[in-house]
Amino acid sequence: MKKLFSYILILLLVGTQLTAQQASVKNTINSFPYQHPSETEAAITSMHTWGHSEWKQLIHLLNNDSLKLKPTYALNAYVNDACLNVELKKQLAENLSSVYGSAKTFYAREFIIKQLSLLGDDAAIKLLTKLLKDGNFAGNAARALASIHSPAAKLALTKALKSSSEENTKHIQAALDNFNFKLPEIKVASAEKKAAKTNTQQLLDLQDRMEKATNRLEKRNVLHEASLIPGFASFMMVSRSLNDETINKEAAVILARLALADKNIRGPEVRASLEKAIGLIRGNAYPPHGLGPTAVMSEIVGVDSPLLISKLKQHLINLSYDNGFINLFNGKDLTGWKGLVANPIARSKMTDSALKAAEQVANEKMKNDWVAKDGLLVFTGHGENLATEKKYGDFEMFVDWKITEKGDAGIYLRGSPQVQIWDTSRREVGAQVGSGGLYNNQKNQSKPLVVADNKIGEWNNFHIIMKGAQVTVYLNGVLVTDNVTLENYWDRTMPIFNKEQIELQAHGTYVAYRNIYLREIPSEEPATLSVEEKNQGFVSLFDGTNLDQWTGDKASYLLEEGVVVVIPEKGDAGNLYTKEEFADFIYRFDFQLTPGANNGIGVHAPLEGDAAYVGIEIQVMDNDADKYKALQPYQYHGSVYGVIPAKKGYLKPMGEWNQEEIMVKGTQIKVTLNGTVIVEGDYAAASKNGTMDHKEHPGLLRTTGHLGFLGHGEVVRFKNMRVKVLEEEKKKKKKK
């Protein structure tokens, strides 16, 4: 009985000790995955002292599906920390190998093997060699041995190849092929870049020089070199000098030259910079070597300042407001960004209220993980990804990034991992291939074409272009990913999402970003009507791809990025009409004005004559422009020209798209602008005792005719033209 009692007592003591150890392990890793820096550092320091029993308890937690999240993050963080110390790497590899037998689930076993692969230490070779005979894990084990990349690991693979099964032979041979593959050397790539720097690399160097410049001469030299590099990135670099009074006038002239040479340099910040540049060019420039202001302009761009200002003003009018670059980071705070909530598939399954609550928690935590400091967007090394508030489809993006030693980060495209960023010296994880690859691809190319990374601590630049599922990446001006399909990491049976957020990856190490610019690429697919409008009987008059349903001045009305734009210098800015005639109808369209713009919508118009009189004209114009101060009420936007005045004040701010609907039924007409009725009346009754402009309008008597755009020599854009023939008119056509 005494022996039995002693045995039970021992079991109780052991059980108590195990429970205490498990509680200790749980407490240590409790700060993961939503950790604060101080808590994480304390946890990792505590894990340095763990013995066999603590590591075994961690594996027991990994075996439990409901508890595995915290130990997964904790172990991964500890492995990243251990990789920085040779002794710790070896010790951890030994510990994980010794407790592998406690791993009972597929998840736990696979995860441990992957951590041994990251550690890349010979201490794991014995276990991994044994696993080469395991049908479930032979592939993981072979890849892990290849990551260790030591003579002993290669020998283990070579011996195993002789006696392996047919299936396992494929994995082992692939691992041996990895040993024999010679990767590009970083030093060679650096030497090549130094011999012939790309424009991107020159701009990175120039920005560094500008930040270090101490006098006006040094700054002017930098601006001069930047002026020789075309494109958006150069424009934005020079634009930052508009705030430096010692060189802002020279910068203004350079910006004018760059913008006039490339209409793709556009966007809100471009427009603001050019408007500021006009004021600086108009003022007195600093004359070099005693030259006057006009000579300064001539010296830089070859024209005098009045002519340059005139060209720049017209350029701003012609410049599209759409599809330009926007600044995703203002350099001051995290406006436009939010904390990460789950993954795209999981988010799509959440209710609106649940998602909103989760975002509030994530946004609060984000404040400790990501900071705006000295004009940089910085990840502190702890926390979750940072995501854009807006979702994007096809886009073009520029972003500068910088990491520290052993750094690891990335950029998620449409919520999916990722364009890789890492320290190329980390051979234990395969980083020697360089940054810019689509790391999580399995079927398609995942590695970059060449190594183009700058040294650790230096700035790098990504130029990323995504169309559909295809991704192209330039690193420091060098093509590293060439039109490769990005796979859906979250569900590989699905294509990549059509629209999703962009994320800056949090991966446990410091990373800084700056100059984050993005422009949305317009779809090349034909525009379609909504299901609602189709059911209502609307038909499209313009799908964004052609003007087949229109006739008239196609020299001035051109197609650009899915819209019709009136460009007077291309012709006489005449009229464009529908080929079909309409009597009673509802006509809907979107339009975008430019400063001082004037156009019109022709109704019941013939193809010849002044449509404002021989037909009916509905005004389209910027009636708030200074040059229109003397307008008559019947000339305001939306008015039936000369006949019925429109309510004023319902146009959207300049550059935004307006939505308009015109309904004509008999002599009744109604004009709705951005949801507000601005004209409603009977034009026959309104002109019974004479028109408001006291002119003849024979077109008021017409009962049918063409719809049209009536040009007046200014730039206006139109899209989404669709029409519904009213029922009575349909019946008349059927009788005929």
Which two structure tokens, joined as six digits, stand for 490? Answer: 């979250």
Peptide bond into 418 cis (omega under 30): yes
Which residues constitute the domain of residue 495?
Answer: 338-520
User: 172 with 135, same domain?
Assistant: yes
What's the mean pLDDT when you consider all of the chain?
Answer: 87
Find out whether 289 and 347 touch, Cβ atoms under 8 Å.
no
The verdict on 631 and 719 lying in the same domain is yes
Instruction: Specify the higher pLDDT residue, 645 or 294.
Output: 645
Strands (DSSP E) found in 539-629: 539-540, 550-552, 557-560, 563-566, 575-582, 585-592, 598-605, 616-621
Among 473, 498, 520, the domain boundary falls at: 520
Query: Residue 309 and residue 606: Cα distance in Å, rounded?
Result: 41
Instruction: Specify the higher pLDDT residue, 582 or 12.
Output: 582
Q: Are 73 and 40 in contact (CB under 8 A)?
A: no
Reported confidence tier of residue 328, pLDDT bands at 50, 70, 90: very high
Token representation of residue 565: 């734009």
Q: How high is the pLDDT of residue 729? A: 53
What does the DSSP 8-state code read for residue 699?
A: G
Judgement on whether residues 350 and 315 belong to the same structural domain of the protein: no
Nearest partner of 472 among 407, 415, 398, 400, judged by Cα? 398
504 and 538 housed in the same domain:
no
Q: Give the domain-ending residue among 180, 203, 227.
A: 180
Same-domain pairing of 167 and 236: no
How many contiguous H segments (helices) and E segments (strands) does the chain have? 24, 26
Q: What is the pLDDT of residues 173-192, one digit of tens each?
A: 888 877 776 544 443 444 44
Q: Look at residue 568 and tell me whether its pLDDT is greater than 90.
A: no
Amino acid at site 687: S
- 154: CATH: 1.25.10
pLDDT tens for 371-383 read 999 999 999 888 8
Q: Is residue 207 part of a domain?
A: no
513 with 540, same domain?
A: no
* Residue whose entry in the numeric block shows the structure tokens 């995942």: 446
Q: Which two tokens stand for residue 589?
A: 């369209």
**Rounded Cα gap, residues 71 and 231, in angstroms:** 48
**Which DSSP symbol is given to 730?**
H
Q: Are residues 400 and 313 in the same domain?
A: no
Residue 4 maps to a domain: no
**pLDDT for residue 290 is more than 50:** no
Q: How far is CA 159 from the centre of its chain?
A: 49
Neighbours of 58 (CB within 10 A): 27
Mean pLDDT of 435-461: 96
pTM over cut 0.75: no
pLDDT of residue 398 exceeding 70, the answer is: yes
Residue 297 has pLDDT above 50, yes or no: no
Percent of the chain at pLDDT exceeding 70: 89
Among the residue ranges 50-64, 151-165, 215-229, 719-733, the one predicted with the least confidence is 719-733
Residue 5 lies in a domain: no
In a domain, 507, yes or no: yes
Give dist(CA 129, CA 134) in Å, integer. 10
**pLDDT tens profile 589-618:** 999 999 999 999 999 999 999 999 999 999
The DSSP secondary structure of 5-66, one letter per residue, reads HHHHHHHHHHHHHHHHHHHHHHHHTTT-SS--HHHHHHHHHHHTT--HHHHHHHHHHHH-TT
* Predicted local confidence at residue 543, as pLDDT: 93
Burial 363-384 (b: 16+ CB within 10 A, else e): eebbeebbebeeebbbbbbbbb
In a domain, 190, yes or no: no
DSSP type of residue 415: T
Q: What is the mean pLDDT of residues 19-24?
A: 62
Pick the residue with more confidence: 668 or 298?
668
Residue 680 neighbours by CB distance under 10 Å: 14
164-198 burial code (b ≥16 CB/10 A, e <16) = beeebbebbeebbebeeeeebebeebeeebeeeeb
Which residues, in sequence order, are CB contacts of 269 under 8 Å at separation 6+? Answer: 236, 239, 325, 326, 327
The helix (run of H) or strand (run of E) holding residue 463 is strand 460-467
The C-alpha atoms of residue 188 and residue 148 are separated, in whole angstroms, by 24
Token readout for 225 is: 């070199």
Confidence class of residue 572 from pLDDT cuts 50, 70 and 90? low
- To 5 degrees, how large is the angle CA 175–CA 178–CA 182? 170
Do residues 575 and 553 make contact, with C-beta atoms less than 8 angstroms apart? Answer: yes
Predicted pLDDT of residue 190:
46
C-beta separation of 708 from 611 below 8 A: yes
* φ, ψ for residue 144, nearest 5 deg: -65, -40
Tell me how far apart the alpha carbons of residues 428 and 117 are, in angstroms, rounded to a whole number.
7
The predicted pLDDT at position 286 comes to: 38
The predicted-structure confidence for 40-76, as pLDDT tens digits, reads as follows 777 888 888 888 889 899 899 989 888 888 888 888 8
Domain assignment present for residue 601? The answer is yes
Enter the tokens of residue 668.
Answer: 């009744």
> Helix crossing, 138-148 with 106-119: angle to 10°?
10
Name 300's Cβ contacts closer than 8 Å, sequence gap at least 6. 227, 250, 253, 254, 257
Number of domains in the chain: 4
Return all residues near 404 (Cβ < 8 A) that are at least 6 apart. 456, 457, 509, 510
Higher pLDDT, 219 or 7: 219
* pLDDT the model gives residue 525: 86
**Residues whose CB falls within 8 Å of the CB of residue 304, separated by 6 or more in sequence, listed in order:** 294, 297, 298
Task: Report how far Cα 697 is from the mean position of its chain's Cα atoms.
Answer: 52
What percent of the chain shows pLDDT beyond 90? 63
Kindly state whether residues 546 and 592 are assigned to the same domain.
yes
Same domain, 368 and 295: no
Helices (H), ranges, 198-319? 199-212, 216-227, 232-239, 248-261, 268-282, 293-301, 305-318
**pLDDT tens, residue by residue, 638-685:** 999 999 999 999 999 999 999 999 999 999 999 999 999 999 999 999
The values of phi and psi at residue 484, to 5°, are -100, 140
Tokens of 340: 């990460």
pLDDT for residue 468 is more than 60: yes
Element (H or E) spanning 470, and its range?
Answer: strand 470-475
Residue 288 predicted with pLDDT over 50: no
Distance CA 379, CA 386 (A): 9
**Does 332 reside within a domain?**
no
- 487, 520, 553: which is the final residue of a domain? 520
Judged against a pLDDT cut of 90, whether residue 579 lies above it is answered with: yes
Q: 474, 464, 478: which is closest to 516 by C-alpha?
A: 464
pLDDT 10s digits, 411-440: 999 999 999 999 999 998 899 999 999 999
| Same domain flag for 45 and 128 | yes
Report the 3 state secondary structure along 483-526.
Answer: EEECCCCCCCCCCCCCCECCEECCCCCCEEEEEEEEEECCCCCC
Residue 19: its pLDDT value, please?
54
Three-class DSSP category at 293? helix
Number of Cβ atoms within 10 Å of the Cβ of 736:
4
**CATH number, domain with residue 501:** 2.60.120.560
Encode pLDDT of 247-274 as tens digits. 999 999 999 999 999 999 999 999 999 9
- 577 and 513, same domain (yes or no): no
Pair (538, 646) in one structural domain: yes
